[in-house]
Amino acid sequence: MARRIAATQHGLITRDDARRCELSDRQIRARVADRRWVRESLNVFSLGGLPSSRRRQLLLATLRTGAAASHWSAAWLHQLEVEPPERAHVIRRSGGGHHHSDLVLHRSERLLPRDLTTVDSIPVTNAIRTILDLAAVYDEAQLRGAIDVARRRRLIHPGPLIARHLEIARPGRPGTSLARRVLEQLDADLALTESDLETRLLMVIARAGLPAPVRQHSVEISGSTYRIDMAYPERLLAIEGDGFEFHSGRDIFERDRVRQNDLVLAGWRVLRFTWRQICREPEWVAEQIRRALA
């Protein structure tokens, strides 16, 4: 049974696998002693007689670190027309980006379970997360090429790719600027607008099957011109996203309240949603807009 498990894992078996096969630590040591098994790390072994391969080395790197294949290694597994790197690249939420002699360990606090999948029994970042991670190590031409290949292979769709970018992008994150620049030209209907928050809100509206709003709608009220993020002018409905960074400072705070009061007094209804609501409660946001339109 242990050999059957190892055969599905590129010749590797973990201590936990062995225990599920009802092998004790003493029996494991005996197999290592007579060289039927080779100890690869404290809790990972390779079985003699099964050939080594790049996939075995990559799976071993993930098992040793509790991480998933990422960056160039993930691009190779997803067949994005790259050669396997000399050292395995893996990623996990904690543990630091330390370099080992045979692997590169990346760290990301924004790595989520939905960013992960398996390819050929190897845990790996999914195609969307792989593309966004590659933005940190690729140039523009390489990133465009990877996106083109992933789209041809139907591994990604522009909508989810842009949505995940908006969730993990932040100032200082490697690759954020390049990813944004490339994604802006990826699909005219999904191009990033002035505010990433606005783009995310537009996606929520589109996915809910609601009518498309007018973007950056200008309104003249009592000699002042106000620009509304998204509007349904015929319904006098304004929809805006509130990001903390857009409303810092006392003067801006005061002007924003004057603007909203002017809109309300002119007959407009104003719905405002925070970044957290748009990203984490999209169904609720869509329902609020649907009710307002009704």
Is residue 156 located within the same domain as residue 216?
Answer: no
- Identify the helix (H) or strand (E) that includes residue 103: strand 103-107
Domains contained in the chain, number: 3
Is residue 186 located within the same domain as residue 62?
Answer: yes
For residue 247, what pLDDT is reported? 43
Taking alpha carbons only, the member of 214, 56, 76, 184 closest to residue 121 is: 56
Is residue 151 located within the same domain as residue 123?
Answer: yes
CATH code for the domain of 258: 3.40.960.10
Query: Among residues 159, 174, 190, which one ends one of the domains?
Result: 190
Residues of the chain with pLDDT under 50: 97-98, 244-248
Q: How far is CA 263 from the centre of its chain?
A: 37
Taking alpha carbons only, the member of 292, 291, 227, 236 closest to residue 255 is: 227
Is residue 92 located within the same domain as residue 180?
Answer: yes
Residue the block writes with tokens 């989810």? 160
Is residue 228 located within the same domain as residue 165?
Answer: no
Is residue 171 located within the same domain as residue 282?
Answer: no
Query: Using one digit for the tens of pLDDT, what is the confidence trace for 42-98?
Result: 899 988 776 778 999 999 999 999 999 999 999 999 999 889 898 999 999 976 544
For residue 5, what pLDDT is reported? 85
For residue 255, what pLDDT is reported? 82
For residue 55, what pLDDT is reported? 93
Is residue 186 located within the same domain as residue 201?
Answer: no
With H, G, I as helix, E, B as strand and everything else as coil, classify residue 173: coil
The whole-model pTM stands at 0.70
List, as one string, the DSSP characters of 280-293: H-HHHHHHHHHHHH
Distance in angstroms (rounded) separating the CA atoms of residues 195 and 18: 52
For residue 266, what pLDDT is reported? 92
Query: Among residues 166, 190, 214, which one ends one of the domains?
Result: 190
Is residue 208 located within the same domain as residue 277?
Answer: yes
Is residue 142 located within the same domain as residue 257?
Answer: no
Is residue 71 located within the same domain as residue 102?
Answer: yes
For residue 194, what pLDDT is reported? 54
For residue 268, what pLDDT is reported? 94
For residue 244, what pLDDT is reported? 46
Is residue 137 located within the same domain as residue 203?
Answer: no
Query: Among residues 190, 209, 244, which one ends one of the domains?
Result: 190
Q: How far is CA 105 from the centre of its chain?
A: 18
Determine the structural domain holding residue 224 and report its residue range. 196-293
For residue 231, what pLDDT is reported? 95
Looking at residue 191, the DSSP 8-state letter turns out to be -
Is residue 133 located within the same domain as residue 235?
Answer: no
| Pairing of the two strands 116-119 and 237-242 | unpaired
